[in-house]
């Protein structure tokens, strides 16, 4: 399999994930502006999840640009990542409908944590297939963003049980860390 097919499949899955999330936004029965107020948590959870899926799509795209060949472990690691990302609509819906209760906030964080672990595994499979001097290895270096994200997600899941608002702030913080475009891969590719 070439990397174009892998990228197209992944793009399709992520597009479906976003579509499922937006279809979960239920229309109010009445036309008054006040009927939108109870939907604010649903909308905010959608926005956060949309940003996360966008971040994964963007970074996944850059990471696949470094691929020279697709191996079996890369295919399985990619499917592993897509599995966890495909659960984001479920967690998003539960999060918004239950107005950020402890259990939904914790589950949301567990899914983010496991998606982060899956991304880390995929990244390492790509590096292993291309060797220690690979473009991706040079680009990510020590991968402080990836490792810090996993630590922050873990802390957020624990804090969700006591202070869900704190966990949500941590999730937003991790998104902000990654929202700033990660140009590491682009810089290494430009240098050649």
pLDDT at residue 146, rounded to an integer: 92
pLDDT at residue 181, rounded to an integer: 62
pLDDT at residue 149, rounded to an integer: 96
CA nearest to 134, candidates 84, 36, 57, 67 = 67
- Spell out the per-residue pLDDT of the chain, length 192, in tens: 788 999 999 999 999 999 999 988 888 888 888 888 888 999 999 999 999 999 999 999 989 988 988 999 999 999 999 999 999 999 999 999 898 999 999 999 999 999 999 999 999 999 999 988 888 888 888 889 999 999 999 999 999 999 999 999 999 999 999 987 667 777 776 776
* Cβ 96 vs Cβ 44: under 8 Å: yes
DSSP string, 132-177: TT-HHHHHHTT-HHHHHHHHHHHHHHHHHTT-HHHHHHHHHHHHHH
Q: Which residue has the tokens 């399709």?
A: 12
pLDDT at residue 192, rounded to an integer: 62
pLDDT at residue 134, rounded to an integer: 87
pTM value is: 0.91
């Amino acid at each position: 399999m070439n990397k174009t097919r892998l990228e197209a499949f992944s793009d399709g899955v992520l597009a479906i994930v976003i579509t499922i999330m937006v279809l979960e936004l239920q229309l109010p029965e009445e036309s008054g502006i006040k009927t939108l107020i109870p939907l604010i948590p649903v909308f905010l959870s959608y926005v956060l999840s949309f940003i996360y899926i966008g971040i994964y799509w963007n970074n996944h795209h850059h990471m696949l640009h470094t691929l020279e060949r697709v191996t079996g472990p890369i295919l399985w690691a990619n499917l592993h990542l897509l599995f966890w990302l495909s659960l984001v609509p479920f967690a998003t819906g539960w999060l918004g409908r239950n107005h950020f209760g402890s259990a939904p906030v914790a589950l949301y964080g567990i899914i983010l944590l496991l998606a982060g672990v899956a991304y880390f595994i995929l990244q390492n499979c790509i590096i292993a297939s291309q060797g220690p001097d690979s473009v991706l290895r040079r680009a990510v270096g020590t991968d402080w963003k990836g490792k810090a994200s996993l630590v922050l997600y873990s802390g957020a899941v624990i804090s969700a049980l006591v202070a869900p608002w704190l966990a949500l702030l941590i999730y937003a913080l991790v998104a902000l860390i990654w929202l700033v475009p990660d140009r590491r891969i682009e810089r290494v590719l430009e240098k050649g």
